[in-house]
């Protein structure tokens, strides 16, 4: 089973619409990390040029990675500079700490 890690870095205000969209398509688990950073549109003319950002990490089966990435893009898009980025990365294996067994996160239930 091929796995992927979908990583999104978005504006904090886009988090709620993104979460709702991901729930609609059946994503049952994700990690949200709040932080600061800058990208192509950093404002170097201010004292603190870092802006608040939210990083999402979602492990999914390979065949669902594109739809998860598209859901983030659709929900977070405003068309303004600084909307964020989404990446899809390969994953070798994922384990449950509780069971110590290899798992497939966010597998759709039949």
pLDDT in tens, 65-77: 999 999 999 999 9
SS3 110: coil
Confidence band of 3 (pLDDT split at 50, 70, 90) = very high
| CATH code where residue 40 lies | 3.30.70.120
- The tens digit of pLDDT for each residue in 15-37 reads 999 999 999 999 999 999 999 98
Does residue 59 belong to any structural domain of this protein?
A: yes
Does residue 77 belong to any structural domain of this protein?
A: yes
In total, how many domains does the chain have?
1
pTM of the model: 0.90
Note down the domain range covering 48. 3-91
- pLDDT of 81 above 70: yes
Residue 72 · residue 24 · CB < 8 Å: no
Instruction: State mean pLDDT over 37-62.
Output: 85
Does residue 26 belong to any structural domain of this protein?
A: yes
- pLDDT of 46 above 80: no
DSSP class of residue 13 equals: G
Identify the helix (H) or strand (E) that includes residue 31. Answer: strand 31-37
Q: What is the pLDDT of residue 13?
A: 96
DSSP class of residue 109 equals: P
Does residue 104 belong to any structural domain of this protein?
A: no
Does residue 98 belong to any structural domain of this protein?
A: no
Does residue 102 belong to any structural domain of this protein?
A: no
Instruction: State mean pLDDT over 89-108.
Output: 91
Place of tokens 């991901």: 22
């Amino acid at each position: 089973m091929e796995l992927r890690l979908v990583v999104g870095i978005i504006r904090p205000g886009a988090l709620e619409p993104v979460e709702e969209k991901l729930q609609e398509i059946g994503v049952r688990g994700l990690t949200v990390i709040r932080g600061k950073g800058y990208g192509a549109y950093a404002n170097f003319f201010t004292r603190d040029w870092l802006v608040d950002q939210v990083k999402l990490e979602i492990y999914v089966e390979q065949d669902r990675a594109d739809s998860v990435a598209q859901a983030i893009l659709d929900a977070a898009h405003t068309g303004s500079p600084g909307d964020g980025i989404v990446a899809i990365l390969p994953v070798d294996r994922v384990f449950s700490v509780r069971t110590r067994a290899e798992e497939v996160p966010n597998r759709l239930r039949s």
